[in-house]
Amino acid sequence: MTGTPLLALDLFVNGLIIGLFYALMAVGLTMIFGILKIVNFAHGEFYMIGAYTYTLISLGLGVSPWLALPVAAASGALLGWATERWLMRPLYTGYGSWGLMKDEYAVVVTFGLSLLLINLVDKVVGPYPVRGPALSDVTRVALGPFMLSGQKLITAGVAIVLLIGLALFIKRSLWGRQVQAVAQNRLGASIAGIDTARATSIIFMASGVLAALAGALLAPIINPAPDVGIFPAVKSYVIVVIGGMGSIPGSIVAALALGVLESFGAVYLSYDYRDTFGLVLLILVLLFRPQGLFGERAREV
């Protein structure tokens, strides 16, 4: 059980599971980038709100964590909807007339939202971490040669279901196709009669749901605190850039790869610096293939 190949396999599986959570976060971020070409710097706070909603509903009302899960999803959807409605909609209904450029506005306003949510939670709930309830008490499940905790197994399962569900939604449903159309060409889509505002709203809600559920599923491990979202958010920025901004499959692959890289790196390179691997990778990618991220770097004139 302690042989090196088995350890490596164990690290690999654990890395993949972590990668699944990164994917839940990164996919939402990349979808928002795909449709608005902006980065949501409050994405980590969607995750934080999800983790808190799940924990507080479940502990406060004494209901089963399984019932708290959909409530957390709803909180993410609501937050996504509100963000789009009040902060993002001006971006595509004539921001040109303001002094701030689109990118600047998006960075400032989402960063401001992030500050607001962190400090609101800090004030209302308190700065101390809360212990999130587990979905399963089973501490060890044998899955072939691997020993995994029940919580990890369940959450990994839910994450996979969510990602597949999202893929089906985007590919198959009418709304999903409209979203794709808007991401490719907002003007064209609106001429074709698609409600672009609604498509954007759907994306923000979906993104909020995924992030909030990631937070809820991880609540027993991370113990929600107001600033708990910062780190997963930074990870998903890295993933989204490496995976090619706006590409959903790209970010899923990058998320899984980062999870595995960190899992191995923590053992074979350095445990203390495990969180820096992704960041270094990001800077290397930007250094050596900046044009790879933009597709072909055209000088538009």
Which residues of the chain form contacts with other proteins (CB under 8 A)?
Answer: 33, 37-39, 41, 87, 90, 98-109, 111-116, 118-120, 122-123, 227, 230, 234, 237-238, 241, 245, 272-273, 275-276, 279-280, 282-283, 286-287, 290-291, 293, 297, 299-301
- In the chain, which residue ranges form alpha helices assigned H by DSSP? 4-36, 43-60, 65-82, 89-92, 102-124, 150-172, 174-184, 186-191, 196-222, 230-242, 248-268, 277-288, 290-294
**Which CB, 122 or 195, lies closer to other proteins?**
122
Q: How far is the CB of 193 from other proteins (least distance, A)?
A: 18
**Which CB, 137 or 272, lies closer to other proteins?**
272
Q: How far is the CB of 237 from other proteins (least distance, A)?
A: 5
**Which CB, 89 or 198, lies closer to other proteins?**
89
Distance, CA of 199 to CA of 179 (rounded, Å): 5
Distance, CA of 281 to CA of 235 (rounded, Å): 11
**Which CB, 112 or 165, lies closer to other proteins?**
112
DSSP string, 146-201: EEE-HHHHHHHHHHHHHHHHHHHHHHHSHHHHHHHHHHH-HHHHHHTT--HHHHHH
Q: How far is the CB of 255 from other proteins (least distance, A)?
A: 16
**Which CB, 59 or 293, lies closer to other proteins?**
293
The owner of tokens 């101390």 is 128
CB 198 within 8 A of CB 205: no
Distance, CA of 246 to CA of 31 (rounded, Å): 6
Q: How far is the CB of 226 from other proteins (least distance, A)?
A: 10
Collapsing DSSP to helix, strand or coil, 142 comes out as: strand
Q: How far is the CB of 155 from other proteins (least distance, A)?
A: 25
Cβ neighbour number for residue 98 with a 10 Å cutoff: 11
**Which CB, 17 or 109, lies closer to other proteins?**
109
**Which CB, 46 or 105, lies closer to other proteins?**
105
Collapsing DSSP to helix, strand or coil, 255 comes out as: helix
Q: How far is the CB of 54 from other proteins (least distance, A)?
A: 23
Q: How far is the CB of 38 from other proteins (least distance, A)?
A: 6
Burial of 125 (0-12, 13-18, 19+ CB in 10 A): middle
**Which CB, 107 or 153, lies closer to other proteins?**
107
CB 72 within 8 A of CB 78: no
